[in-house]
């Protein structure tokens, strides 16, 4: 009988512990951004014509296929570039998502991949931990060629993973907020 009383007390204590869990505290969810437009502006250092490429994804995540514009850059030129992100899903309330990425820069990073040896990319902006963000970057073009520039924004990447601070997306993890590939011609 004594063992039965002890078992009952242990069961009651366990039940009380479970019923007093921390479930009453709300969980704050940071929803991913809806991005319907990415604009990349290239401004040549030392003067010249700026080049703007953009991708429009009217519904923010398929099934409508995004449409990207092409860019023509000058060979052997350094461009300072900046990225603007917009949510235009409600034409009466266009939201500048760039501001959210700036405010949450420790939770975001752009990654850049090129083909055709179009140039070298360098990050120009960093979060408080000195990790790259990529809203601002430079592109130093090489000789005349053509190729692509793929721009990927990751939400909550593992910024201290191997290669990530150098722009390698391989170990970044996180979720892709937007990705666009632009055809680039260097002349």
Does 21 have pLDDT greater than 80?
no
What's phi and psi for 105, nearest 5 deg?
Answer: -65, -25
Averaged over 21-28, what is the pLDDT?
Answer: 48
Q: Alpha-carbon torsion 78, 123, 169, 161, what sign?
A: positive
Q: What pLDDT is recorded for position 65?
A: 65
Among the residue ranges 37-41, 59-63, 96-100, 150-154, the one predicted with the least confidence is 59-63
- Dihedral class, residue 105 (left if φ above 0, else alpha if ψ from -120 to 50, else beta): alpha
Angle (nearest 5°) at CA 37 between 35 and 40: 120
What's phi and psi for 85, nearest 5 deg?
Answer: -120, 135
Q: What share of the chain in percent tops pLDDT 70?
A: 79
Q: What pLDDT is recorded for position 10?
A: 46
Residue 108 structure tokens: 């975001």
Rounded to whole angstroms, how far apart are CA atoms 164 and 186? 27
Does 70 have pLDDT greater than 60?
yes
Mean pLDDT of the chain: 86
User: Helix (H, G, I), strand (E, B), or coil: what is residue 26?
Assistant: coil
Sorting pLDDT into bands at 50, 70 and 90, what band is 4?
Answer: very low
CB 93 within 8 A of CB 86: no
Q: What pLDDT is recorded for position 159?
A: 97
Does 2 have pLDDT greater than 60?
no
What's phi and psi for 14, nearest 5 deg?
Answer: -65, -45
Does 148 have pLDDT greater than 80?
yes
- What is the pTM (predicted TM-score) of this model? 0.81
Sorting pLDDT into bands at 50, 70 and 90, what band is 32?
Answer: low
Rounded to whole angstroms, how far apart are CA atoms 163 and 119? 19
pLDDT digits (tens, 9 = 90+) for 46-63: 999 999 999 998 766 654
Averaged over 153-169, what is the pLDDT?
Answer: 96
């Amino acid at each position: 009988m004594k063992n039965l009383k002890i078992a009952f007390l242990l069961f009651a204590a366990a039940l009380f512990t479970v019923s007093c869990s921390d479930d009453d505290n709300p969980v704050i969810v940071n929803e991913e951004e809806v991005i319907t437009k990415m604009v990349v502006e290239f401004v040549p250092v030392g003067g010249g014509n700026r080049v703007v490429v953009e991708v429009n994804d009217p519904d923010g995540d398929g099934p409508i296929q995004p449409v990207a514009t092409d860019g023509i850059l000058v060979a052997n030129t350094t461009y300072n570039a900046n990225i603007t992100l917009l949510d235009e899903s409600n034409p009466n309330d266009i939201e500048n998502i760039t501001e959210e990425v700036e405010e949450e820069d420790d939770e975001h990073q752009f990654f850049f991949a090129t083909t055709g040896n179009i140039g070298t990319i360098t990050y120009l902006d960093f979060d408080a931990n000195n990790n790259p963000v990529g809203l601002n970057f430079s592109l130093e073009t090489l000789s005349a060629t053509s190729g692509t520039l793929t721009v990927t924004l990751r939400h909550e990447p593992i910024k201290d993973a191997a290669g990530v601070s150098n722009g390698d997306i391989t170990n970044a993890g996180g979720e892709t907020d937007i990705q666009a590939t632009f055809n680039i011609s260097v002349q």
